Amino acid sequence: MNINEKLAQKLISEQFPQWENLAIRPVEKSGWDNRTFHLGDDMTMRLPSSKEYAPQIVKEFQWLPLLGQAITTCQITTPLALGMPSEVYPWHWTVNRWIEGETACAERIQDLNKFAKALGLFLNELQKIDSAGGPVAGLHNFFRGGDLAVYKEEVRQAIPGIKNKDEQKIAERLWYDALSSQWERTPVWVHGDIACGNILVCKGQLKAVIDFGQLAIGDPACDLTIAWNLFTGESRDIFRNTLALDKNTWIRALGWTFWKTLCWPVKGTHIKQILSEVYSDYRQLCGE
């Protein structure tokens, strides 16, 4: 489906005519799951790109207002209106409040240690929100917050591709240990995709966390992969110490990072460096 400005304008005119005179233009960087457009200066439109992402929209519209009331460390996405499926577009869509900022990267962050602390505090707040009745991790969010064993076969096929035999052995141990425990406490809220592209920075500080399409309740380990995708050394230690999570949860976090880096590497990431640090931190957690 061609999700463009013309379609966005038609949807606004049909369903929210009070906004039909506002300028519509694509945002500079739109995600894979959704196409996002500016609606005037203060709002955005968020349209799923295909049917597998469509359930995320209603979920966000239902739960983000609740989360927003409890989050004080930074801004999060604020839904303003829910668009209905129609003849021209078959899925729900939303109008959200626009948040100014740049996507996170080390070069845009003033103090990585303070940033690690701030992001850790955000996750602490998120995990403390009452999760009763929340959407359990599953197919709707690609099992983020669920059982890592869903990706067992994918990793099993990928590990032989690790050329260094010592690293291959460490990888096999790490993956085995990551699958050997589960979150045994009350399910907590998980964002599901805490990545640089979903974290906004303004003047070097944490401004907002956006894109809650993978939102669910479950195991928080999946939200910790940023420890290896952004933080290093002291900042990673600060992030880890800010979160009151046990050793097994951090091993599962290493498992999530290992799976994503090995099987679905993001273009432009330093894959070898991330995997090397994952192996090193695993050894450290094991007391080696």
Tell me what pLDDT residue 29 has: 78
Do residues 187 and 217 lie in contact, with contact meaning Cβ atoms separated by under 8 Å? yes
Tell me what pLDDT residue 77 has: 97
**Residue 139 corresponds to which tokens in the numbers above?**
């197919």
Write the single-letter amino acid at 133.
G
Tell me what pLDDT residue 258 has: 98
The pTM of the full predicted model, rounded to 2 decimals, is 0.95
The highest-level CATH class for domain 5-99 is: alpha beta
**Residue 210 corresponds to which tokens in the numbers above?**
């956006």
CA nearest to 214, candidates 136, 158, 283, 125: 136
191 class by beta-carbon count within 10 Å (0-12 exposed, 13-18 middle, 19+ buried): buried
Looking at the domain 103-285, which fold is it? Aminoglycoside 3'-phosphotransferase; Chain: A, domain 2 (3.90.1200)
Q: What is the DSSP secondary structure assignment for residue 209, as one 8-state letter? A: E
48 class by beta-carbon count within 10 Å (0-12 exposed, 13-18 middle, 19+ buried): buried
pLDDT in tens, the chain (288 residues): 899 999 999 999 999 999 999 999 999 877 778 999 999 999 999 999 999 999 999 999 999 999 999 999 999 999 999 999 999 999 999 999 999 999 999 999 999 999 999 999 999 999 999 999 999 999 999 999 999 999 999 999 999 999 999 999 999 999 999 999 999 999 999 999 999 999 999 999 999 999 999 999 999 999 999 999 999 999 999 999 999 899 999 999 999 999 999 999 877 678 999 999 999 999 999 998
Beta bridge mates, 102: 201
Tell me what pLDDT residue 1 has: 82
Locate the domains of the chain by residue range.
Answer: 5-99, 103-285
Write the single-letter amino acid at 17.
P
Tell me what pLDDT residue 288 has: 87
